[in-house]
Each structure stands twice: as structure tokens, then as C-alpha cells.
Amino acid sequence: MSERLQPGDVAPAFTLPDADGTEVSLSDHKGRKVIVYFYPAALTPGCTKQACDFTDNLELLAGAGYDVIGISPDKPEKLAKFRDKESLKVTLLADPDKQVLESYGAFGEKKLYGKTVVGVIRSTIVVDEEGKVERALYNVKATGHVAKIIKDLGV
């Protein structure tokens, strides 16, 4: 079971392929705040709603100095399908070996329909300009979550 991050922790560095196979690193965003969200699977109803909510609010978030990165265990090809089908504008990264998911505490035991299963824990981590965790939110809901983040961040 991976450790959950706390505000003030240094956000674990990562480099993962995006939907086009281009490597993207957290360090590419140094000097900007980054909302890193972890979701279970592309092209599923809840994850689609969440990704569309982030896309719909991307301009607002970018204007306030935030970049948005979504990470799932999907392969880049599936992320490209997801992006194209839903016209997504957020950066989607592939973490099929789940190393980044685990380093952020977003993979482990969770309750699903009353059963304990091991999988992706829907989570959102806000990283500040210096690469430190500003907020760490775990077991978030797919719907309404983006609006809550915007309100909490005062954007």
C-alpha cells in the first residue's frame, strides 16, 4: 500500500508518455502550479465526466497559473482515442506500470460496490511552483470535483 502525500511534501518527479507518445515530465512545469489528477480508466463514464470538466475549465485554471495533467494506467493509444473522442484539452499521461500512481499514493486498496479491491484511487494533487504538494485529495468523486477544486483554490 503506497503512502499518501501530505501538504509540504516534495511531489515525486515523473516522466511519462502522453497520448502521442511524447515524454512529459513534472519538471517541465516548474514555475507553474500543476493539478495532477489520477483516474482509473479512459473512456469510462465517470472518468470522461471528470476529464470533460477539467477541459471545460482549463482556460480558467490556466489563467490562474495552473496546468492540468491527468494520469491513468492506460496505454498512450487508448489515451489518444479518449482525447479525440471527447475533444479533451488536458494533458493525459500513461502510467501502465503504475509507478507514478503508487508514488503519489493513488494506487492501492479501495472500496468498490462494498468490496475491497486494489486499483486506482481517484485522487487530485495540487503541486506548487516549487514542486511541493499544496493539496492532496484522495477518494474524490468524478462529478462535481472540478468545481470544488476551483472554489477551494479561489480561482
Q: What does the domain layout of the chain look like in residue ranges?
A: 7-143
| Residues 21, 64: Cα–Cα separation, whole Å | 28
Whole-number pLDDT of residue 99: 96
Say which DSSP state 128 is in: -
Contact in structure between 21 and 76 (CB atoms under 8 Å): yes
pLDDT tens for 26-71 read 999 999 999 999 999 999 999 999 999 999 999 999 999 999 999 9
User: How do 123-127 and 133-138 pair as beta strands?
Assistant: antiparallel
Class of domain 7-143: alpha beta
Residues classed as catalytic: 47
Render pLDDT for 92-123 as a digit per residue (tens, 0 to 9). Answer: 999 999 999 999 999 998 887 888 989 999 99
**Long-range contacts of the stretch 134-141 (C-beta < 8 A, 24+):** 134/7, 134/33, 135/7, 136/4, 136/5, 136/6, 136/7, 136/9, 136/105, 138/4, 138/105, 138/106, 139/110
Per-residue model confidence (pLDDT) at position 50: 95
Could you tell me where the DSSP H helices lie in the chain? 45-56, 58-63, 76-86, 99-103, 145-153
Mean pLDDT across the stretch 71-76?
98
HSE, CB side, 13 Å, CA atoms: give it for residue 49. 10
Which phi and psi (to 5°) does residue 105 adopt?
75, 20
